[in-house]
Structure 1
């Protein structure tokens, strides 16, 4: 399908509005010359055929993105009904929608539709970054972008993104939402392994995610994790450069210290954020808990008091696991988290090494020898959106507000 914007016929508009509209349209994907489209150096990653160039892949993937009209998406969400709203943030709202399929007997396609607020914190730049990045990459642990919309509306330029629907919401909700199903230990490991493989893929193609956190790890019907919300994605350092310098954005509590202090962004800045989430799945606590005693409010400061090799380490393990976790494996995971959280980024492992370490920990977990209270039947959980609580599945990765990180 050609990537042309389908604009409604309307009355002639003033010259200044025509100029603004042309400027916005020319900056949208499919409207610019290919040579102007930023490349993310996707040269021969493991998960892509090695015989094709990035330009070939770019053409193929862009044509696979559907260009929706605003009216189509309005109908898919019953006029952007409040009852179908499944998330919100500084960018606007996310809605659950149904897109009719070609066959009359086929059920409609359930999707997540992100509707950007023209006055929101995330504007055209972030919208364009997601379209261009997700329109090129293809990995089982990266959320799939199905299409987009950019049209003139009554309130200005309407920008929307259409994603695959993730029925089991985000890792954050399963860890921290009261009433949600408790994720068993092994499943937490498997989710983090998938997320690590997604990050390793990004790093392989020299892309810095810049906003890894539990709310950006979405879960599908089979609890397969997928990274989402790529509005802050940044091309990594090239050649002999060790970092890129950029404005300090992201989410408080997850950003690497070198990034917060200097604005220098490196691939291993993502590794630090990954270490934070590892401690979240160990403890079942958020990175910042304002309702806890002062000594326990900051997760990373609190866990320092209980190092992996000390006898009191079990005191920080998520009580919802009810002692159903392998003692040795949990300590091994905490040690891996500590490596990821090294202050000197050069001492942190690569995501490729993290993937291998996680696989080994899972293998040890499968042996069952070190479980405190083994229960094979509870090693997996399959919760549908109704059983998991009142909050429906969503594209939660796009829901969390990205805030400036202050020193």
Structure 2
């Protein structure tokens, strides 16, 4: 099967059999086709969607388009928070209790996503977003306040996330920007893992399918909220091992077995989490054509380092030096590798990932121990060569007993 190597891997519909055309790396036209299985009518949300089908939810308000025009000052350009292939997101204000439009600066701030008006695919993804976020509530999922499906307008209304996306904080450069600290990066990784674990352990499993840094939103305290459920799907039911669907997602984050077969499982999300965790640790993008040849694909570049314990720390963002203990860094790097195993069955479950990241958080006091060891080694062995902080700490702390990545359960 060919693979669409565009930035976004999207078919006309995740629920229909058919063919789409795209270009491969060489620029040649190739086709993606895959049959889809029918989802259970009892699942939430039910699929495939019928046009106009909205599951009843007391959590959501149905806005009129005039309501949202008033809330955003007629979608003024200076209210734009962000833009993408889907459309634009605007800042708006509503009364906190009645949700009626209010004046700028008065009431509750909201984020209003106005989707492009053309295309059935966008409509279907809009319905998926409404029906998933209308039924699911969790501290690590963005809160959908309401929607507008009036005439050809498709608008979604969310809680406002002051810090924006993880992508902006992790990859922006410049003297005016402070890189995210180790502790904040681990806090964000843990929050995102908890969000995915909730989806995977729901009564009807939900496969997120498009996990990436741009879909990780942050509130004023850097608490994580997963957003954009347009590509989410119900997981397999009964004795089924996977869901068969068109390959959709974002290149660089998509699990290899899903790309090659169209078989979607919760372990597909685990792979995507591994990519994001690697981005968090390295400060590098999953795909970056500006990097030297051989380093453009982050996973391919990092794996040779990750599979060897003494080289693992070379993938870490040099801007984080001194902020983490060797124990923390090795655990986090090993976890990333485990999530990226080619064999899906060997990848951990998301609740195991949560436990592992909680252990990384709990070991933060080890940083002081490592720093004291480093100082001690500097005084006691001043003339024995330029051994790195990481190497001396590894040997002193007995890291030789640290488990090599394997099919075994996550470290205790």
Which TM-score bucket, shorter chain as reference? Answer: 0.7 to 0.9
Aligned to 2:158: 163
Aligned to 1:297: 296
User: How big is the shift at 1:314?
Assistant: 3.3
Aligned to 1:72: 67
User: How big is the shift at 1:304?
Assistant: 2.1
Closer/same/farther in 2, CA of residues 37 and 349 from structure 1, 3 Å limit: closer
Closer/same/farther in 2, CA of residues 327 and 96 from structure 1, 3 Å limit: same
Write the distance in 2 (CA, Å) between the matches of 1:70 and 1:286: 37
Give 5+ residue unaligned stretches, structure 1: 1-34, 42-57, 375-407
User: How big is the shift at 1:328?
Assistant: 2.2
CA contact (8 A) 2:307 2:337 kept: no
Write the distance in 1 (CA, Å) between the matches of 2:334 and 2:200: 22
Pair 1:199 & 2:196 matched: yes
CA contact (8 A) 1:97 1:110 kept: yes
Q: For residues 8-87 of structure 1, what are the structure 2 equivalents within 5 Å? A: 39-40=44-45, 62-87=57-82
Aligned to 2:259: 260
Closer/same/farther in 2, CA of residues 361 and 237 from structure 1, 3 Å limit: same
CA contact (8 A) 1:200 1:352 kept: yes
Pair 1:188 & 2:185 matched: yes
CA contact (8 A) 2:144 2:158 kept: yes
Write the distance in 1 (CA, Å) between the matches of 2:184 and 2:372: 16
Q: What SS does structure 2 have at the residue aligned with 1:96?
A: strand
Write the distance in 2 (CA, Å) between the matches of 1:66 and 1:252: 34
User: How big is the shift at 1:365?
Assistant: 1.7
Closer/same/farther in 2, CA of residues 102 and 225 from structure 1, 3 Å limit: closer
Q: For residues 1-400 of structure 1, what are the structure 2 equivalents within 5 Å? A: 39-40=44-45, 62-101=57-96, 107-119=106-118, 122-152=121-151, 157-179=152-174, 180-205=177-202, 206-307=205-306, 309-369=308-368, 371=370
Closer/same/farther in 2, CA of residues 373 and 87 from structure 1, 3 Å limit: farther
Write the distance in 2 (CA, Å) between the matches of 1:363 and 1:36: 43
Closer/same/farther in 2, CA of residues 131 and 97 from structure 1, 3 Å limit: same
CA contact (8 A) 1:90 1:122 kept: no
Closer/same/farther in 2, CA of residues 271 and 344 from structure 1, 3 Å limit: same
User: How big is the shift at 1:345?
Assistant: 0.4
Closer/same/farther in 2, CA of residues 188 and 121 from structure 1, 3 Å limit: farther
User: How big is the shift at 1:40?
Assistant: 4.7
Q: What SS does structure 2 have at the residue aligned with 1:160?
A: strand
Write the distance in 2 (CA, Å) between the matches of 1:196 and 1:95: 28
Write the distance in 2 (CA, Å) between the matches of 1:36 and 1:237: 13
CA contact (8 A) 1:116 1:123 kept: yes
User: Could you report, residue by residue, the CA deviation over 1:371-403 in whole angstroms, capped at 9, with x for unpaired residues?
Assistant: 5599xxxxxxxxxxxxxxxxxxxxxxxxxxxxx
Closer/same/farther in 2, CA of residues 290 and 70 from structure 1, 3 Å limit: same
Using the size of structure 1 for normalisation, the TM-score is 0.73
Using the size of structure 2 for normalisation, the TM-score is 0.73
User: Could you report, residue by residue, the CA deviation over 1:64-83 in whole angstroms, capped at 9, with x for unpaired residues?
Assistant: 21111111111111111111
User: Could you report, residue by residue, the CA deviation over 1:78-125 in whole angstroms, capped at 9, with x for unpaired residues?
Assistant: 111111111111211111111134589993110100001112585111
The higher-RCO structure (CA 8 Å, 6+ apart) is: 1
Write the distance in 1 (CA, Å) between the matches of 2:183 and 2:44: 37
User: Could you report, residue by residue, the CA deviation over 1:1-23 in whole angstroms, capped at 9, with x for unpaired residues?
Assistant: xxxxxxxxxxxxxxxxxxxxxxx
Closer/same/farther in 2, CA of residues 102 and 203 from structure 1, 3 Å limit: closer
User: Could you report, residue by residue, the CA deviation over 1:129-175 in whole angstroms, capped at 9, with x for unpaired residues?
Assistant: 111110111100000000001112xxxx1010000000011111111
Write the distance in 2 (CA, Å) between the matches of 1:354 and 1:100: 39
Instruction: Count how many residue pairs are aligned between Structure 1 and Structure 2.
Output: 318
User: Could you report, residue by residue, the CA deviation over 1:246-286 in whole angstroms, capped at 9, with x for unpaired residues?
Assistant: 01010000000110000000011000000001110110000
CA contact (8 A) 1:324 1:372 kept: no
Write the distance in 2 (CA, Å) between the matches of 1:137 and 1:307: 36
Write the distance in 2 (CA, Å) between the matches of 1:255 and 1:96: 31
Write the distance in 2 (CA, Å) between the matches of 1:370 and 1:207: 41
CA contact (8 A) 1:279 1:337 kept: yes
